A and B are shown apart, each in its own frame.
Chain A
């Protein structure tokens, strides 16, 4: 089961602004979440939670338009509620009810008949690994079990889009692994669009197709998680011995191929392209001089670099 390419984007913001007193949470934000699974990254206060809350109708945008699955998030609230599932980060489950009762109750409030609600509850609790513990009060659950209960209730009515706010928050390594597997399945196997907010880049890389980075309520970056590395793109080269001497010897050999050699910021040798012929030249030169190749890696900027720069971790 896959998401149709022609389907409307999961979330679309056009010049959306939201302020709380003197604090601007969203500042004329324009962004479209069209990938099957999108990771929402940003530092604390970047506007992630406000964006999710505004999309869910829990906060009204001061300006701009926000569409969820092609529906106006304000005017079409009823339809949005029907088609969206939400897993908040904070505890949101009645402590004295069992996971079974929580899911059945929410499923029925969302319009499922009793038999469907019970059947679906059994399915989702089984899928998240809570079938054995489903009759215990939620208050007696571990944090991981509560997280899985929250995910189960978000899926019980068969939504087209689920918004997950920090789905792995507070989970131990095993629980996190299970949660990431389930989240990845949602979009890849079950055709459910996913928007997952997280602080952890690795979680987003493992579960999402695209990453959106917010900073101070604005779009700082948006790019696919997996980028085809150009096989002939720039590379960085480190060798044993005198790097400068090796670079000087390499430069006239690569010049006829139209490849420039320049030092990198880390003191390695940078090649602005890396055709097969160029790499053969490097290999042969190293062999003839008895120099060891310590590393030869693509110089393309990875996802982590892009995200770190966009979040302004270094620059503030």
Chain B
């Protein structure tokens, strides 16, 4: 800004530099700020607002996850001779089990790196110094991870539920008869997504290298089933199967929906609670100093 030279005391024209000025507007409440962090954290693993190449893998997994549900809904809709309901073609527990591998692949590639990439990029110094507290950061990351997994786990089941309404002879009656399925579906999805969200973030919190995080998560969910099956075989008892982190939460979820897969018993719930509560505590402890390292 410069004032034109001139005579004494007379008002003069003023040139304003409009390129940059101070900003003094009102800031939004913190939950709004955290919500925006959640939104950006959801977009990034999906490759949104990034190159086309970074969208391929996540959207391929999404397509595979939704394909069974869309197929069993499309067939009765497009082929009038098929009188079966979508839920008769594939049940909710079977859909969960079918998508199990997709879920593990998605968690391995997306969830741990939500923490490792911020340490790799060294962006935590900016976050913790000038943007969010460590609690807001973890809550935001947790909600973003939970939302991403809900898209994979809950989404196909909702497609199946809504598709069943659409293909029913009497949709109103079908809804009245099956309305109780909806909260069970949501609860079952919550059991699976909570477990894998915490497990994925736990692995991501323990290393700053993405490759180690992916490998660590895969080691847990691929090696543990082999070990538990071996243990069950050696002991001649089924209880070690409850320790399997890959199928355990899905079996719990299935038992919530309709019990079509045999219930894993109380031990599986104990393992689930230990991972969710203990894992959350470890992740919180890892970041509780508010340090960027």
Contacts and interface: CB of A to CB of B under 8 A. Distances in A.
Interface of A: 1, 56-60, 77-78, 81-82, 84-86, 88, 90-98, 101, 105-106, 108-114, 116, 120, 123-124, 126-127, 137, 153-155, 157-159, 189-192
Contact of A158 (B23, B50, B54, B125): B23
A37 to B, nearest CB: 15
B12 interface: no
Contact of A190 (B21, B30, B34, B128): B21
Interface string B6-22: 00000000000101111
Contact of B33 (A57, A101, A108, A127): A108
B207 interface: no
B20 A111 contact: no
Contact of A127 (B20, B24, B34): B20
Contacts of B30: 78, 111
Nearest to A139: B121
Given A77-B133, A111-B28, A94 B22 contact: no
Interface of B: 1, 17, 19-25, 27-30, 32-34, 36-37, 40, 44, 49-51, 54, 117, 121-123, 125-133, 289-292
Given A86-B130, A92-B122, A109 B23 contact: no
B36 A105 contact: yes
A57 B25 contact: no
Contacts of B36: 105, 108-109, 114
Contact of B125 (A58, A78, A116, A157): A58
A281 B32 CA distance: 75
Main SS class of interface, B? loop
Contacts of B22: 1, 158, 190-192
Contact of A59 (B21, B29, B291): B291
Contacts of A98: 49
Contacts of B51: 96, 137
B124 to A, nearest CB: 8
Given A106-B131, A109-B127, A158-B23, 15 more contacts: A56-B128, A77-B290, A81-B132, A82-B27, A86-B129, A95-B121, A96-B54, A97-B44, A106-B130, A111-B33, A112-B28, A113-B32, A127-B20, A157-B23, A157-B130
B37 A109 contact: yes
Contacts of A91: 121-122
Contact of A57 (B23, B34, B129): B129
B26 to A, nearest CB: 9
Q: Which of B129, B291, B292 has the most CB of A within 10 A?
A: B129
B20 A112 contact: no
Contact of A110 (B27, B49, B117, B125): B27
A297 B1 CA distance: 36
Contact of B23 (A82, A105, A116): A116
Nearest to A56: B129
Contacts of A94: 117, 121, 123
Nearest to A163: B129
Task: Give the 3 A-B CB pairs with smallest separation, nearest first.
Answer: A158-B23, A111-B27, A127-B20
Nearest to B49: A101
B125 A81 contact: no
Contacts of A154: 130
A86 B24 contact: no
A190 B123 contact: no
Contacts of A120: 23
A96 B113 CA distance: 14
B130 A84 contact: yes
Contacts of A86: 125-126, 129-130
Contact of B126 (A1, A106, A113, A189): A106
A111 B32 contact: yes
A109 B29 CA distance: 10
Given A93-B123, A111-B30, A58 B54 contact: no
Contact of A109 (B19, B33, B292): B33
Contacts of A92: 121-123, 125-126
Nearest to B30: A111
B121 A93 contact: yes
Q: Which of B36, B49, B127, B132 has the most CB of A within 10 A?
A: B36
A75 to B, nearest CB: 13
Q: Which of B20, B37, B54, B121 has the most CB of A within 10 A?
A: B20
Nearest to B18: A123
A202 B30 CA distance: 41
A60 B127 CA distance: 16
Contacts of B131: 81, 106, 109-110
A88 B128 contact: no
A92 B121 CA distance: 6
A72 to B, nearest CB: 15
Q: Which of B121, B123, B129, B130 has the most CB of A within 10 A?
A: B130
Contacts of B117: 94
Contacts of A111: 27-30, 32-33
Q: Which of A106, A114, A153 has the most CB of B within 10 A?
A: A106
